[in-house]
Amino acid sequence: MLPRDGFFVEEICQAGFASYYGFPVYEPRTFVTCGPQGTLGFGFPTALGGEGRSSDKAVVSITGDGGFQFGLQDLATAATYHLDVAIVLFNNAAYGNVARPEAAVRRPADRSRN
**46 with 16: CB under 8 angstroms?**
no
What burial class does residue 24 get, using C-beta atoms within 10 Å of its C-beta: 0-12 exposed, 13-18 middle, 19+ buried? exposed
pLDDT of residue 79: 94
pLDDT of residue 86: 93
Residue 1 lies in a domain: no
pLDDT of residue 113: 56
- Ranges of residues in the chain whose predicted pLDDT is under 50: none
The 3-state DSSP class for residue 18 equals: helix
Residue 22 lies in a domain: yes
Counted domains in the chain:
1
* CATH code assigned at 74: 3.40.50.970
pLDDT of residue 108: 56
What span, in angstroms and rounded, lies between the C-alpha atoms of 95 and 27?
A: 32
Exposure string of 30-63, with b = 16+ CB inside 10 Å and e = fewer, is bbbbbeeeeebbbbbbbbbbbbeeeeeebbbbbb
Read off the pLDDT of residues 85-114 as tens digits, 9 standing for 90 and up: 999 998 887 777 777 777 777 665 555 555
Domain that holds residue 32: 7-104
Q: What is the DSSP letter of 60?
A: E
Going by C-alpha positions, the residue among 65, 64, 48 that lies closest to residue 7 is 48
pLDDT of residue 59: 93
Bridge partner residues of 8 (DSSP): 31, 60
pLDDT of residue 47: 93
